[in-house]
Amino acid sequence: MALKNDQYNQILREYDERRFRNKRELDKRIQEAYGAIPKLKELEDELISLSARSGRLALFGDTEALDELKKKSDRLIEQQKKLLVDNGYPEDYLRIRYQCSRCKDTGFIGNEKCRCFKQAIADMIYEGSNLKSVLERENFSTFSFKYYSDDYIDESIGLSPLSNMQKIVAGCKSFIRHFDKKHDNLLFLGNTGVGKTFLANCIAKELLDRGYTVIYLTAFRLFDILEKYKFGKEDDNSLTAANQFEYILDCDMLIIDDLGTELSNSFTTSQLYLIINERLLRQKSTLISTNLSLDNLNANYSERIYSRIISNYCIRRIVGEDIRLQKAIKM
């Protein structure tokens, strides 16, 4: 999954800038807090003095004295926290704040790339998908059940559209909570405009916020990448298709949207099987959304693909009226 040197260095520079920004913001908070609460500075000076004494004692192996200094330091820290809270500040106001607490905005945990670094690579590879700006609009905080009727029972599922969607959303949240342990896969079935893509974006947002790598691709875009990888049709101004292909296989969550809208042929069928099967073997989760029915999936793709999906995917049928049409009418 190697990047070109200039692209890799660009990501490293962004991490450098992030750490510099974190330190600058901390310095501003410290200056503000010390100005408002001078006692904080006195306590911090005592902590610095205790730290220096601890270093000297450690050289002589005086563990009893070190334990006593540690207790005293802890008391001073608690006094700082209390002063901050009593004056309307959060108790962690004087701590540096990281965008990624796992790697402390270095991009690495030991010698391994942190998930946030892998996502930075993924974002660069798929910057054309514009996923992050979409997720600002489409997430669980903006999701609404008001577009799903409770006035009738859909015969295909035995539930009203509202009850069905409430059940599906609850299942999606459970999927997110247990994401790191169960490695489940999802298939969203339903007509155009019932909210399949919106719900997929809700899941993507939650997983990204938890530090997982997520790739979102329309079926058309996915097979375009696979074609370039298979037949060597690469753009010199972009990352190689090989990089993209490996990330499709290895990201924590792959979302394939609108399966069935691509031109279906033996190539797309074989490549879809490869992606589905390889990700199952790697225990990587995949979400597929489609307007096709299960019967049409079986007819349009191979029996092997149909079998993999039926056996390994949680299938959720979303029913209801076209939400985009409902919004257009209300306008």
| Residue 222 near residue 248, CB atoms below 8 Å | yes
pLDDT at 122 over 80: no
Q: What is the model's pLDDT at position 237?
A: 42
Q: What is the model's pLDDT at position 256?
A: 96
Closest CA to 314 of 281, 275, 285, 274: 285
**The two three-digit tokens of residue 121, written as one number:** 């690579």
pLDDT tens for 91-117 read: 999 999 999 999 999 999 999 889 888
**Terminal C-alpha separation, the chain:** 47
Q: What is the model's pLDDT at position 250?
A: 87
Average pLDDT of span 220-248: 74
- Name 64's Cβ contacts closer than 8 Å, sequence gap at least 6: none
pLDDT tens for 190-222 read: 999 999 999 999 999 999 888 788 889 999 989
Q: What is the model's pLDDT at position 238?
A: 45
pLDDT at 2 over 80: no
Mean residue pLDDT across the chain: 87
Q: What is the model's pLDDT at position 4?
A: 62
Closest CA to 279 of 184, 162, 175, 200: 184
Give the whole-number percent of the chain exceeding pLDDT 90: 59
pLDDT at 125 over 90: no
Please give the CATH number for the structural domain made up of 126-330: 3.40.50.300
What is the sign of the dihedral through the CA atoms of 24, 29, 30 and 34? positive
Longest dimension (CA), the chain: 79
Q: What is the model's pLDDT at position 324?
A: 80
Distances (CA, A) of 1 to 113, 125, 247, 254: 12, 10, 7, 16
pLDDT tens for 37-75 read: 999 999 988 888 887 777 666 666 667 767 777 888 889
- Name 325's Cβ contacts closer than 8 Å, sequence gap at least 6: 193
Average pLDDT of span 74-83: 91
- Name 319's Cβ contacts closer than 8 Å, sequence gap at least 6: 154, 156, 157, 161, 164, 190, 191, 194
For residues 248 and 216, give the distance between their C-alpha atoms in angstroms, rounded to a whole number. Answer: 9
pLDDT at 127 over 70: no
Amino acid letter, 16: D
Q: What is the model's pLDDT at position 55?
A: 67
Q: Which has the higher per-residue pLDDT, 124 or 32? A: 32
Amino acid letter, 314: C
At 1, the pLDDT band (50, 70, 90 cuts) reads very low
| Residue 276 near residue 243, CB atoms below 8 Å | no
Q: What is the model's pLDDT at position 128?
A: 47
Q: What is the model's pLDDT at position 57?
A: 64
pLDDT at 160 over 80: yes
What is the sign of the dihedral through the CA atoms of 179, 182, 188 and 194? negative
Parse the chain into domains and list their residue ranges: 5-109, 126-330
Q: Which has the higher per-residue pLDDT, 52 or 314? A: 314
Strands (E), the chain: 108-109, 112-113, 186-189, 214-218, 253-259, 285-290, 314-317
Closest CA to 188 of 207, 178, 175: 175
Closest CA to 255 of 296, 213, 291, 309: 213
